[in-house]
Structure 1
Amino acid sequence: MNVLYPHTPRHTHPWPHIIYILEGVGSLHLDGQDYPMEAGSFAFAPSDKLHQFTNTGNGRFAFICIVPEEGDQ
């Protein structure tokens, strides 16, 4: 995640994904709750659940999302 954009928009989509944090600290807003995340953390975002990633640190917050083929846009 670029530090110029400290968070993603809150959004949903019809596919699930697994998130793995590579670097930094942040949070995952998922279905009304905030979960702290740091390098080495992972999470699961189910299909159609409202979610958002936020960089809560001073450096880079980098992560990968593993999605099914239909989510690879």
Structure 2
Amino acid sequence: MKHVHYTKVKREPVTVDGAEGVSVRWVISDADGAKNFAMRVFDLEPNGHTPYHDHDWEHEVFILSGSGVVCAEGQDTSLIPGDVVFVPGGEKHNFQAGPEGLTFICLVPYQ
């Protein structure tokens, strides 16, 4: 078993093209023995954003704090704490933080 407060996990900058002001914490990963899914916590600085992209796997997202927008296939949806988002595989998407930033949990399967 692993038990840790997420803020104790190292935060790493996301450096892929199209990301601005984004960092990630791999709070549960294969390094912990997780064989099927990874749990990540993303922090977006005020007005930061992830790249607009797609991939084969799905995302399950839970908004922890802040506000922002998820853009999926060109449609913007506002986000507040407590919201959940399902992004199916193959759907182009990105997350954009509002003026106070955005923090969310993102679960993805290993591929």
User: TM-score, normalising length from structure 1?
Assistant: 0.85
The answer as to 2:83 corresponding to 1:50 is no
Matched, 1:63 2:104: yes
CA displacement at 1:5 relative to structure 2: 6.5
The aligned amino acid for 2:77 is Y
Aligned equivalent of 2:70: 28
What do the CA deviations read for 1:20-73 (whole angstroms, capped 9, x no partner)? 1011000000111000001100110000110000002x2231001111122xxx
Which 5+ residue runs of structure 2 have no aligned equivalent?
1-42
Highest RCO, 1 vs 2 (Cα 8 Å, sep ≥ 6): 1
Unaligned runs of 5+ in 1: none
Runs of 4 or more consecutive aligned structure 1 residues displaced over 4 Å after TM superposition? none
Q: Which has the larger radius of gyration?
A: 2
RMSD: 1.4
The answer for the alignment partner of 2:51 in structure 1 is 9
**Percent pairwise identity:** 35
> Which SS does the other structure have where 1:10 is aligned?
coil
